[in-house]
Structure 1
């Protein structure tokens, strides 16, 4: 399991956007970058800089995905039929921790990963603790018995700041079915994501 080595909201401030749509985000108070010279970093970005930022933003949104994992996912998307950017987003949304987050079983992407790695999630009735596992259409994801009473899960289900998307079908409060792989337009990103720029970045 990869370990986060920096504060997650530093990414918000570096991007100048609240990329997870969280009320606690520091970018709501300070929209400039972190560090001593954050307020002065206003230079114009090169084409490479714009592409790099788009890649960092998309990769950062999915939590503790390493560069190696993200790059491997990109190359897998590039070998699939259709638009590579759309394929990349579809593959990222099929991660088990992301499906748990979309189902509102966890309040944040990091807590979704934690719930999975601690064995509180069932895939088709079988316990799974691999956050990066690929969920396929028709898979049923449910909470374990202990998880149903966890304060973290109860908090997540009461969040008004986001809704369960259409490609995740709810069956009560503790079970969902992954209905289809979403397109970019269906994914409820709080900010604009540009996977086409990510494709350009890796195609250089």
Structure 2
């Protein structure tokens, strides 16, 4: 191979890994104005990607044309590879989980965030603990006290005797220690259920 893969030399090659290398000589951007040529291995990958993506050089079209200069679409090469986008994460070039796959391979099925209302309180407690284990914290703990609060149901008049143990624990997970003490006091005066009173997150309050 010549030191620089010229157009004339490359187009004379049948190997797709060599035939289009000349397109990438001095074509890659480095910094504001500098250009560079990829290494030999990268040139082979880039060269092969062109026919895989369905692109045809004008010289190939000339050879496919009949005496009148016409080309039937059945004679054109077909695309054999496609870019399969990530199933998870941002659709950004820094997400390197994109893949070049066979053209007929099904696209990725995007993974979407789950609707927490579709789960039971006990299941959401598990989800909550998993997030804590991974280092996630509520905004008021991670960034300091919030400047405003929003009241959500159930209200502060929450009475544990009207709810199941799982529902009570789910409520208490989202409350401060003051509210937990109030609800636990009502529980001790009422049903005294161990599943609530002995839960490790507030045992001893």
Superposition TM-score tier, normalisation by shorter sequence: under 0.3
Question: Normalized against structure 1, the TM-score is what?
Answer: 0.21
Higher relative contact order (CA 8 A, sep 6+): 1
TM-score by length of 2: 0.21
